[in-house]
């Protein structure tokens, strides 16, 4: 876990490196990235059997009956 002093030091370093005008943009981009990651993880763990069925592109074909098979 990050202590409050460590978090404050990180914010101070980010403020010095990026400047006060870029920090809101960086925070917004970071927030969007975390939101997309969480929604992707939630979608992945939703129902694996449903996702497998989405990847099926064609119906299985019936096998010919034993008397209709051609001999090779």
Q: pLDDT tens per residue, the chain (72 residues)?
A: 789 999 999 989 988 998 888 888 988 999 999 999 998 888 777 665 555 555 556 665 676 676 655 555
Residue recorded with tokens 């981009």: 29
- H or E element that contains 51: helix 48-54
Q: Write the DSSP symbol of residue 8.
A: H
pLDDT of residue 32: 95
pTM of the model: 0.47
């Amino acid at each position: 876990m990050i202590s409050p002093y460590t978090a404050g030091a990180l914010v101070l370093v980010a403020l010095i490196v990026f400047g006060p005008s870029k920090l809101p943009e960086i925070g917004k981009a970071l927030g969007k990235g975390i939101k997309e990651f969480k929604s992707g993880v939630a979608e992945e763990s939703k129902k694996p059997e449903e996702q497998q069925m989405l990847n099926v592109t064609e119906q299985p074909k019936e096998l010919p009956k034993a008397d209709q098979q051609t001999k090779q």
